[in-house]
Amino acid sequence: KQEVTQIPAALSVPEGENLVLNCSFTDSAIYNLQWFRQDPGKGLTSLLLIQSSQREQTSGRLNASLDKSSGRSTLYIAASQPGDSATYLCAVNLSNTGKLIFGQGTTLQVKP
Amino acid sequence: DVKVTQSSRYLVKRTGEKVFLECVQDMDHENMFWYRQDPGLGLRLIYFSYDVKMKEKGDIPEGYSVSREKKERFSLILESASTNQTSMYLCASSPQLGAREQYFGPGTRLTVT
């Protein structure tokens, strides 16, 4: 059974730091992996989608990498800002059905 | 931009009531999903649908049913609400082919008293 783990559960950094969020999964047979952002009490906003054949995706200050063989993905945030404070979730897609398996998330606080 | 809307942001219902949660997407997506999100348990899939009138059980379908009469609309039904169904409910949609990106609605915070 696929399990997705995100460590750490919470992270607090000063503004301007570069940081890395980690996501690991137990079954490497995935179609893709998606990173989301969730603000308190709100829905999920899609940040990046990495297909299984890709190694990384970039959007602005965000860079997500994927290593299927080791069952890991990282989300790199450059020059963090207080507005980046949120919970970040990763989810793996096991097949072309679109069913996602989510991690528990990492709650990020960026202090001014 | 893809837009997924949910009928209510907050809902309070009594135990035993029949509850309808509505989700509408405007991008002609084939796939639609209902999740619930609970502290410590994360997001869990309740039901999903590949097309009109088609539905598949997710990981926690007990106590729920769904309806998809039109492509853009996916309804989650709690036949007899119970207090353990108090949760945040999130709807999502995606194109069918190629396991594409999923887009989420703003969520409905349901409280059953």
Task: Inform me whether the pLDDT recorded for B98 exceeds 60.
Answer: no
**Contacts of B22 by beta carbon, 8 Å cutoff, 6+ apart:** B6, B7, B73, B75
Tell me if A98 and B105 make a contact (CB, 8 A cut-off). Answer: no
Closest approach of chain B CAs to the CA of A14, in angstroms?
26
* Burial state string for A37-67 with b = 16 or more CB within 10 A and e = fewer than 16: bbeeebbbebbbbbeeeeeebeeeebbbbbe
Tell me the CA distances in angstroms from B6 to B39, B54, B108, one per residue in order.
Answer: 21, 20, 7
Work out the pLDDT band at A36, boundaries 50, 70, 90: very high
Q: What is the mean pLDDT of residues A77-91?
A: 97
What are A89's two structure tokens?
Answer: 């979730």
User: How remote is the C-alpha of B102 from its chain's centroid?
Assistant: 13
Q: What pLDDT was estimated at residue B97?
A: 60
C-alpha A106/C-alpha B17 separation (Å) is: 35
Q: What is the mean pLDDT of residues A19-37?
A: 94
Q: What pLDDT was estimated at residue B95?
A: 85
Q: What is the mean pLDDT of residues B77-95?
A: 96
Q: What is the mean pLDDT of residues A11-29?
A: 95
- B101 CB neighbour count, 10 Å cutoff: 16
Residue ranges of E strands in B4-102: 4-6, 10-13, 19-25, 31-38, 42-49, 56-57, 64-70, 73-78, 87-94
Tell me if B99 and A31 make a contact (CB, 8 A cut-off). Answer: yes
Averaged pLDDT of chain A: 94
Task: Inform me whether the pLDDT recorded for A22 exceeds 80.
Answer: yes
Q: What pLDDT was estimated at residue B99?
A: 60
Q: What pLDDT was estimated at residue B40?
A: 86
C-alpha B113/C-alpha A106 separation (Å) is: 31
C-alpha B68/C-alpha A82 separation (Å) is: 41
Q: What pLDDT was estimated at residue A2?
A: 86
Q: Which residues of B touch A42 (CB under 8 A)?
A: 106-107
